[in-house]
A and B are shown apart, each in its own frame.
Chain A
Amino acid sequence: AQSVTQPDIHITVSEGASLELRCNYSYGATPYLFWYVQSPGQGLQLLLKYFSGDTLVQGIKGFEAEFKRSQSSFNLRKPSVHWSDAAEYFCAVGATGTASKLTFGTGTRLQVTL
């Protein structure tokens, strides 16, 4: 069975500082990987995805993530955080071949201080 671990429940960064959110997955083969962002009371917005190919993927809002097979990780990064980035971030894994259900981590809440 697939699973996702987001070890950081809550992270606080200053506006303009760099950001890295950690994600580790468990899956028997190369998975499909995703990062979503959720503002309070809202649905999830897709930030970026990895299906295959280049292990460094670019997403919206200046985010990027790197797939590291050896570490079973897919960490999300942003070089300079904006106050509007404050939200909950979810990493998710999907099974290759079928791309059916997604399994999500428990999320990391990002707080940005001015």
Chain B
Amino acid sequence: DTGVSQNPRHKITKRGQNVTFRCDPISEHNRLYWYRQTLGQGPEFLTYFQNEAQLEKSRLLSDRFSAERPKGSFSTLEIQRTEQGDSAMYLCASSSERREQYFGPGTRLTVT
């Protein structure tokens, strides 16, 4: 068990650019989650996948955000036309069916 991994760990981008983050879950986990955490707050749910199906999306996930999990393994989160308000820590977690979620180290996004 190597844990959940996320890449990159840090990303600095200019406003208006597109960014993509990757999450590799624990291998036997069929559920994958994305959360966003801003300074001084707890993580907020964005979306989750069961295998390759995206089953729920938060209203926080505007149309500039898209997530995929094409083969039910790794997942990508893309933000188009980034805004300064997108600056946050993006956390990925994975779990087995109806069990606890294990989090990765996160990707810190800074939009200048």
Contact = CB atoms under 8 A, between A and B. Distances in A.
A98 B97 CA distance: 8
A84 interface: no
A105 B42 contact: yes
Interface of B: 4, 6, 31, 33, 35, 40-45, 48, 55-56, 58, 91, 93, 95, 97-106, 108
Given A34-B100, A41-B108, A44-B103, 13 more contacts: A42-B106, A43-B6, A43-B104, A46-B100, A46-B101, A46-B103, A97-B98, A99-B99, A100-B55, A100-B56, A101-B45, A103-B45, A104-B44
24 contacts: A42-B106, A43-B6, A43-B91, A43-B103, A43-B104, A43-B105, A43-B106, A44-B91, A46-B100, A46-B101, A49-B100, A90-B42, A90-B43, A92-B42, A98-B98, A99-B95, A100-B31, A101-B45, A102-B35, A102-B101, A106-B40, A106-B41, A106-B42, A107-B40
